[in-house]
Amino acid sequence: MDSCRIPANASKCSGSTMECFMVLSTRAQKISIGILCGLFGTICVFENSLVLYLIFSSPGIRKKPSYLFIGSLALADILASIIFVCSFVNFHVFNEAGFSKEVLLLQLGGVTTSFSASLSSLLLTALDRYISISRPSEYKLLMTKKRAWTALAVLWVTCATIAGLPLLGWNCCTLDSSCSELFPFVDDNYLSGWICFVVVLLGCIVCAYGHVLWRARQHVAYMEQHQAQAGKQNSRMRMDVMLAKTLAMVLAVLMLCWSPVLALMIYSIFGRLSDRLRKVFAFCSTLCLLNSMVNPIIYGLRSKELFSSLRRVLSHFRRQLKAPEESPEAESTHKSSVIET
């Protein structure tokens, strides 16, 4: 740790490098961050766990590549919520800085892997919709279950490899470059590379969705002209349009939640962040949790298959609750109590 280059703002930290990154100075700020992280994180884990259960408990749904990609997104959001909340609150709220450099980089790698996998899962979902709506007759041949699992394996391995580079040596202790003002031991060159990776992902997602929504509008116009025709083709088009709109909503929420964080990261590379901006960055980081929390809500409201699966699960749960009351033992007990009365 002594061989690490000290960040540019280390002079403000009374000789303690790690204190430079603990930007929350008041009790109110720490309580606010703790409440936001705890609330968003808990809801996010519950909702995304429910999405995973609904997908993999239904044989009809889990066979579809579209929902395998959505399941990957839910898994990434669960991991991101757990790792981010634990590490972020422990560091910024409880000011625990006794971890080694390797442990801190491992925590950061977990957060980076999860959020990168979340974005990459959205990209695969967008590409899946692109193929489905542009080449519907060949969709089942092009997007098989085996190819979907292969794409997911490549996705997670790639994200984990990129996120593990600082732990493998690309950090400010081994390279002759300045450390990031936002993350301990992270080299600015690596941060620049990761930001470029995220921007490329977002750009590809936007391009794919642009084409999907353009084709969706064409399908809407077609259905309006052929409302009298009821058949499988119109049903498939309605499904494509519905899912395209759903994923467009996901993308809009994604951009709103990630834009402030990415903007401040980019600014930190080319300029110097004030203490106030670093506090703003800490609060904006919770928007990433908000994004992970909103995604399953959109699925539940927009996906008829997931909503139907949820209704079946709730109906089954209600029947199980009523079963003890309607059991023969309960009925005989009730009759005996009536006779005694």
Q: Residue 64's domain is classified under what CATH number? A: 1.20.1070.10
Dihedral in degrees, nearest 10, Cα atoms 159, 54, 123, 113: -20
140 in any annotated domain: yes
What is residue 1's predicted lDDT score, i.e. its pLDDT?
Answer: 40
Number of domains in the chain: 1
* pLDDT tens, residue by residue, 198-253: 999 888 888 887 887 777 777 666 666 666 554 555 555 555 566 666 667 777 88
Task: Say if CB 142 and CB 135 are below 8 A apart.
Answer: yes
CA angle 271, 100, 168 (to 5 degrees): 70
Residue 10 lies in a domain: no
Residue 59: its pLDDT value, please? 80
Other Cβ atoms less than 10 A from the Cβ of 27: the count is 9
Residues of the chain with pLDDT under 70: 1-18, 97-98, 173-178, 219-247, 299-302, 323-341
Tell me, yes or no, whether 159 lies in a domain.
yes
On whether residue 317 sits in a domain, the answer given is: no
Q: 63 lies in a domain?
A: yes
Domain assignment of residue 53, given as a range:
25-309
Model's pTM, two decimal places?
Answer: 0.81
Question: 173-185 as b/e, with b when 16 or more CB fall inside 10 Å?
Answer: beeeeebbbbbbb
Strands (E), 219-272: none
Of 142, 170, 178, 3, whose CA–CA distance to 66 is shortest?
A: 142
Helix axis angle, 304-326 to 328-340, nearest 10°: 40
Q: pLDDT at position 10, please? A: 40
Closest of 154, 147, 187, 151 to residue 168, by C-alpha: 187
The reported pLDDT for the residue numbered 291 is 85
pLDDT at 328: 54
**Cβ atoms of 126 and 212 closer than 8 Å:** yes
| Residue 152 placed within a domain | yes
